Amino acid sequence: MARFAWGRQIWSLISMNGLLPMKRQPLYLINTLTSPFSFLFFIAIVGGAPAIPFGVAGGMILTILSIGTSLQTDLSHYKQDLKLQDMVVASPLSAGLYVSGMALSEFVYAIPGMTVFALLSVIYGHYVFLGGLAVVATLVLLWVFASALGFTLATYLADVRETFAVSPLISLALTVIPPVYYPISRWPTFLRPVAYVFPTTWAANLVQGALGISPTPLTLGGALLDAGVLLAAAVILFVLAWTKAQWRER
């Protein structure tokens, strides 16, 4: 039974930080839907029917990206306010399992919103079965990146209140400025290399291409490049955070 202990440990974290808060306070779910659907609403009003598929693709990305901010807030709260990390350090639970369980618990919050956006993508998208698998794979990669981002922020920002200043800037930098809610073809040609500085641009390329709404058809080589860049960004963030983080006091 000891070899399955890690599964019970992760499930305990998912229940503590994901399932129980959702059950006790359903408003948390509404909060996760507020920003993505607000953008979708205004895009539909301003851009009309042709812009809705891009709003759906952008809503998926913003919903998953919000996991990173939530992970940073919760990790900081449990460490600084509740001193949970001190108790975890004294337990058999490893740092990797703790962060993995917390990241999965944040993913639970995204499931209702992603379910709604998945239905909308079927209505407004133009993809086939393989395209749907590509969207799922892209969102999983984006979740890894978002979790790495949240872990990095939790490492560098010690106070939960700092999140209130940083989070809006992150959303602006990763979902509003880059071509997430619109095709990259809207950028002037000479500025497009700047757009690819943002990891979410690569994720948007994958999602928009898989939905069949991108002006440029998605190729296998392009998809592998987009996925590779997104995964590399996540790995870099994890390495940066892990080298700075101190799990045990020395």
| C-beta of residue 103 within 8 angstroms of C-beta of residue 71 | yes
Give me the half-sphere count of Cα atoms (radius 13 Å) on the Cβ side of residue 242. 11
Sequence ranges of the domains in the chain = 7-244
pLDDT digits (tens, 9 = 90+) for 204-224: 999 999 998 988 878 888 889
| C-beta of residue 71 within 8 angstroms of C-beta of residue 18 | no
Distance of CA 139 to the CA centre of its chain: 8
pLDDT digits (tens, 9 = 90+) for 172-194: 789 888 999 999 989 999 999 99
Distance CA 109, CA 113 (A): 8
pLDDT at 246: 63
pLDDT at 4: 57
For helices 52-76 and 95-124, what crossing angle results, to 10°? 160
Ranges of residues in the chain whose predicted pLDDT is under 70: 1-4, 128-129, 158, 246-250
pLDDT digits (tens, 9 = 90+) for 75-84: 888 888 778 8
Give me the half-sphere count of Cα atoms (radius 13 Å) on the Cβ side of residue 116. 16
Q: Which amino acid is at 194?
A: V
What percent of the chain has a predicted confidence (pLDDT) above 90? 31
pLDDT averaged over every residue in the chain:
85
Among the listed residues 179, 199, 202, 182, the one whose alpha carbon sits nearest the alpha carbon of residue 191:
179
pLDDT at 104: 92
pTM of the model: 0.90
pLDDT at 203: 95
pLDDT at 250: 43
